[in-house]
Amino acid sequence: MELSLSHRLFNSSSSLPSLFNSRIKLSQTHLFSLNNHHQKLQFFTGLHHKLATSMEPQTTIPHAFDNGSSITSSETGRIGEVKRTTKETNVHVKINLDGTGVAENNSGIPFLDHMLDQLASHGLFDVHVKATGDIHIDDHHTNEDVALAIGTALLQALGDRKGINRFGDFSAPLDEALVHVSLDLSGRPHLNFDVQIPTQRVGTYDTQLVEHFFQSLVNTSGMTLHIRQLAGKNSHHIIEATFKAFARALRQATEYDLRRGGSVPSSKGVLSRS
């Protein structure tokens, strides 16, 4: 089989390369190669669609894992939405793992909102947090319950965790500060927090609450999280580098691995809190 294209199809201007003055021939072998490439493209496009469909999270999770949070979700995709109400706080969290970095955070704790903005911006998650609490006492309860709700929202958005990378690892510098974060979406909650923050407060925010934030998030999300400070003298820089490194590591872990073909990234075949 042979396909011929006449040079009359092209402009006969003398500025055209001389090759257009002759007939262009595509052999049957070339056509087969192009057709084969097209079939492969269709295959991977279909595979991506199947992965996106099969990895949509379930809309419910066991009550034992929600830590008192009421979970709602009316949308498809990897979205978690949590409402948590106690006598101390009222928290509403919504997170989209496949977002664009939209941040709408109003926890009543300005420095915490600034850190949640880092989570959205550097993880490319859409993060929406609205909280009221007994901050007239201190920030402890609100800081804790926001983190618990974010962890629960992550748990919901991840669903059965099919096809994800599972592991994330990132080191983030911020001027003199350098913080390394490594995490595993294993279903097993564990925190190793090796960070020395030199001052007791940044603005009005108690720097002891940083570790407590991540411990609370780990407890409800089922995440193994290691945070290690490699350098740093300024408290603000150290904490912000921590949140930036966490955001990038979490982004790595939650992204899809197309080679995995939608399977659960575990030799056991399941990743769960139980």
The DSSP-derived string for 118-160 is HHHHHHT-EEEEEEEE-TTT-SHHHHHHHHHHHHHHHHHHHTT
Question: Taking all residues of the chain, what is their mean pLDDT, rounded to a whole number?
Answer: 80
Structure tokens at 213: 């934030």
Mean pLDDT along residues 214-240: 97
**3-state percent breakdown (helix, strand, coil) of the chain, nearest 5:** 40, 25, 35
The DSSP-derived string for 161-205 is -TTB--EEEEEEEETTEEEEEEEE--S--EEEEE---SSSEETTE
Q: 241 and 228 in contact (C-beta within 8 Å)?
A: no
| Per-residue model confidence (pLDDT) at position 53 | 47
The answer for residues whose C-beta is within 8 angstroms of residue 77's C-beta and 6 or more apart is 56, 96, 98
Does 88 have pLDDT greater than 90? Answer: yes
**High-pLDDT (> 70) share of the chain, %:** 67
Does 23 have pLDDT greater than 90? Answer: no
- Residue 148 binned pLDDT confidence (cut-offs 50, 70, 90): very high
For 26, the 3-state DSSP assignment is strand
- Residue 30 binned pLDDT confidence (cut-offs 50, 70, 90): very low
d(CA 150, CA 180): 21
Mean pLDDT along residues 66-90: 74
Per-residue pLDDT reduced to its tens digit, 174-194: 999 999 999 999 889 999 999
| Per-residue model confidence (pLDDT) at position 269 | 55
For 54, the 3-state DSSP assignment is helix
Does 56 have pLDDT greater than 60? Answer: no
Mean pLDDT along residues 145-168: 93
Does 257 have pLDDT greater than 60? Answer: yes
- Residue 259 binned pLDDT confidence (cut-offs 50, 70, 90): confident
Q: How many Cβ atoms from other residues are within 10 Å of residue 95's Cβ? A: 25
Instruction: Give, as one character, the DSSP assignment of residue 260.
Output: G
Least-confidence region, from 17-26, 94-103, 223-232: 17-26
Q: 234 and 241 in contact (C-beta within 8 Å)?
A: no
| Per-residue model confidence (pLDDT) at position 55 | 46
